[in-house]
């Protein structure tokens, strides 16, 4: 009987530990970086007609975020992202910076004591600039999806490996008829603190 009670306590303790990081009422604070090469498709349209071919880009981004677990394993929160891209269309190199704020949710799956796969979706606003003139600035809507795995170093800290997809649709600040559509795929590495 004593062995059965000890086994039940051990199982309960394992289940509680595995879920403690992502239980309802907890907070998660994250910071991730990603680097992507030649995985961006940028198309410019003017009055509904394409005026450029796809461009290739190298992208670096940093994304701090905060989330609150509204139920076990589901965090809802805000991501702020800064990215810098060097675009090469075959004739010129242009460096573009962007800032986005995205509201979204991330769901963590139970997969043992140390690993938790996750998926997330979000939508928000993005602003992009390639220089000081209004003709070089645009803003619009950003949609993001992510998936990956969190490796828990301890109960409060995880190392996160992820794949990120971002799709944007932006209008030029000077001329609303000039629209840029961009989609990118990146691999990311980050850290999360669970409180």
Q: Which CATH number covers residue 180?
A: 2.40.160.20
Output the six-digit token pair for 195: 């409180």
pTM for the predicted model, two decimal places: 0.75
Average pLDDT, the chain: 80
Helix runs in 60-140, H state only: none
Q: Are 139 and 128 in contact (CB under 8 A)?
A: yes
Residue 40, domain extent: 2-194
Measured distance CA(106)–CA(158) in Å, rounded? 15
Sole residue written with tokens 């944007």: 168
Q: State pLDDT tens for residues 132-187.
A: 787 788 999 999 999 999 999 998 999 999 998 989 999 988 888 888 888 888 88
Output the six-digit token pair for 144: 């993001």
Domain count, the chain: 1
pLDDT at residue 131, rounded to an integer: 77
Q: What is the CA radius of gyration of the chain?
A: 21
SS3 40: strand
pLDDT at residue 56, rounded to an integer: 62
Measured distance CA(151)–CA(167) in Å, rounded? 27
Backbone angles phi, psi at 101, to 5 degrees: -125, 125
pLDDT at residue 18, rounded to an integer: 43
- Nearest by Cα to 190 from 30, 32, 28: 32
DSSP character string of 145-162:
EEEEEEEESSSSEEEEEE
Backbone angles phi, psi at 26, to 5 degrees: -85, 160
pLDDT at residue 116, rounded to an integer: 95
Question: Under 8 Å CB-to-CB from 133, ≥6 apart: which residues?
Answer: 174
Backbone angles phi, psi at 170, to 5 degrees: -125, 145
pLDDT at residue 26, rounded to an integer: 93
Its sign, for the CA torsion 84, 89, 93, 94, is negative
């Amino acid at each position: 009987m004593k062995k059965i009670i000890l086994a039940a306590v051990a199982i309960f303790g394992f289940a509680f530990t595995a879920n403690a990081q992502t239980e309802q009422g907890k907070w998660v604070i994250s910071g991730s970086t990603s680097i992507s090469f030649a995985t961006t498709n940028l198309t410019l349209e003017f009055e509904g007609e394409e005026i450029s071919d796809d461009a290739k880009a190298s992208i670096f981004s940093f994304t701090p975020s905060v989330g609150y677990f509204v139920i076990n394993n589901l965090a809802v929160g805000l991501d702020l992202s800064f990215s810098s891209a060097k675009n090469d269309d075959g004739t010129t190199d242009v460096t573009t910076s962007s800032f986005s704020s995205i509201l979204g949710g991330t769901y963590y799956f139970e997969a043992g004591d140390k690993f938790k796969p996750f998926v997330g979706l979000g939508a928000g606003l993005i602003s992009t600039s390639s220089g000081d003139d209004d003709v070089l600035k645009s803003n619009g809507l950003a949609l993001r999806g992510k998936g990956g795995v969190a490796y828990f170093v301890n109960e409060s800290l995880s190392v996160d490996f992820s794949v990120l997809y971002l799709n944007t649709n932006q209008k030029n600040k000077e001329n609303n008829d000039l629209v840029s559509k961009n989609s990118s795929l990146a691999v990311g590495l980050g850290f999360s603190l669970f409180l």
